[in-house]
A = this chain, B = another copy of it.
Amino acid sequence: MNAEIVAVGSELLLGQIVNTNARFISSQLSELGINVYYHTVVGDNAARLKEVIQIAESRSDLLIFSGGLGPTKDDLTKETIAKHLNVDLVEDEEAMKSIEDFFAKQNRIMTDNNRKQALVLKGSQVLTNKNGMAPGMIYDVHNKIYMLLPGPPKEIEPMFQFEAKPKLAERLHEDNKIVSHVLRFYGIGEAELEVRIQDLLDEQSNPTIAPLASDGEVTLRITAKAENEEQAWLLINKTKNEIIERVGDYLYGEDDDSLSSKAAEMLIANNLTISAAESLTAGLFQSELAANPGISQSLLGGMVTYTEQVKQEQLGMPKEILENYGVVSAECAGEMARLVKGKFSTDIGVGLTGAAGPEAHGDQPAGTVWIGIAIDQDPPLTYKLQLTGMRNTNRLRAVKFAFHYLIHLLAEKGYVKK
C-alpha cells in the first residue's frame, strides 16, 4: 500500500504555518511499513482540491487528508470529497453530542455553524476527536482508502496514533512487520555521535539507524523489518546494545521520553522531594517538571528570583556572594540551590542563574549559565554552560541541561531509574 498525504489550508500556502502534520503521519506510516510517495498542500479552494484528489487517486492507494473539517466556510475538505465521491453527509450523533458538551462545559453558546462539524461521510468509520470537535473518518471505496483528519496537531496526532493507526494496521498483512524504537541522547552533538557509531551507520541494512537532531537533543531511530514483532525486537535490541556500548553515557531515554519525564520518574520512584530557585529561566524548570502527572508528590514548589533584591529578601542570598562573585556565578547558583532546598525543606534544591541574552550581564556574555544542584547534605554541585542561541533557546537549553545533570547525579548516587 502506498500513501499520499494531502494537507488542506491556505495558511500553509501563505507560509503562516509549517506542515508538521505531514511529517508526523509520514513517520507513523513508515512504522506500519506503508510507503509515502507524495505530500501535497492545497488551499481552501474546492476546484483545486478536487483536482488534487483526482491526481492522488491516480497514483496512491491511501489518501490521508488533514485540515478543513472545522465549522467555517473555509472548511470544505469533507464537502468536496463527499461531492466528488457522490456520498451523502450525515450527522454523527456521538460527534454532535461531544460538540454540544464542549460548549456546555465552557458555558459558551453554540453557534449553528458548529453543527456542520458533526457531519460525516455516510458509511464511513468515524474517528473520535478527544481534543477538539471535528471527528475524523475513514471511507473505503474502489480499492482506495480516504482518511479525513482534523488540522490542529494536538487533535490529529492522538487521533491518528490511537484511532486511525490501529485500523490501518488491521488492513495490513502480518508478514512484513515493521517496528521502530527511538533512543534519546543529550549532552552530545549529532556529528560526534555519528562519528562514534560510524561503522554501524555504514553497515546498516536491517535494522536501519536514522539519526536526527532537534532542540539540542539527538535521537537515533532504529527500525527493523521482520516476520513478527518478536523477531523485529531481537534485531532492534542487538543494534541497540552495540550503540549503548559506544554512547550509552549520553542516553537518557527512549521513544516518547523527555528529559523532564525521566527526571520526574526518578524523583517519584525514589520518593525524593525537590524545589528550585530560578533566575534566567524564571519558572521554566519547575513548569517543565510539572508537565508530568503525579509530580505533586515530589515538586513541592519553589521561587522565581528574578532580581538581586528578591534573591536577598525572599531567598536569603548573602549580599557578599552577589558583591564578591556576581549573580552569574557558581557561588550564586550553588547558594540558590542550597537556600531553596532549606527554605522548602526538600531533598533536592536546584538553582538556575545566567545571562539569557540578548544583552550580556555585566562582564558575563549572553549565554553564560550556571546551574546549581544541592542534594542530601553534600555541598552544592555547580555546572557552567556557555550557550550560543537566542534568549529563549538559551533559557530552554539551560532547563534541559539542569534535568540532564540531575538525572546523572541521581544515577551516580544509586537512585533507581524507574
Contacts and interface: CB of A to CB of B under 8 A. Distances in A.
Contacts of A74: 210-211
A22 interface: yes
A290 B300 contact: no
A271 interface: no
A224 interface: no
Nearest to A182: B16
Given A40-B38, A309-B300, A71 B17 contact: no
Contacts of A72: 190-191, 194, 211
A70 to B, nearest CB: 7
A16 B210 contact: yes
Contacts of A15: 22-30, 36
Given A14-B27, A303-B303, 18 more contacts: A7-B39, A11-B212, A13-B26, A14-B221, A15-B22, A15-B27, A38-B41, A71-B194, A72-B190, A73-B194, A105-B386, A131-B393, A282-B286, A282-B289, A283-B286, A283-B287, A299-B306, A300-B306
A296 B306 contact: yes
Nearest to A31: B15
A35 B48 CA distance: 13
Given A281-B287, A304-B304, A310-B300, A70 B213 contact: yes
A261 B52 CA distance: 40
Contacts of A411: none
A143 interface: no
Interface stretch (A84-92, A108-116, A165-173, A233-241): A108-116
A379 interface: no
A40 B43 contact: no
A152 interface: yes
A24 B15 CA distance: 6
B291 A391 contact: yes
13 contacts: A14-B27, A14-B36, A18-B20, A19-B19, A22-B41, A37-B48, A154-B389, A154-B390, A282-B283, A283-B283, A290-B395, A293-B391, A296-B307
Interface residues of A, number: 110
Contacts of A210: 10-11, 14, 16, 74
A377 interface: no
A17 B22 CA distance: 10
Interface in A111-162: 111, 113-114, 131, 152, 154
Given A19-B18, A40-B40, A304 B301 contact: yes
A265 interface: no
Contacts of A152: 213-214
A119 to B, nearest CB: 14
A335 interface: no
A314 B290 contact: no
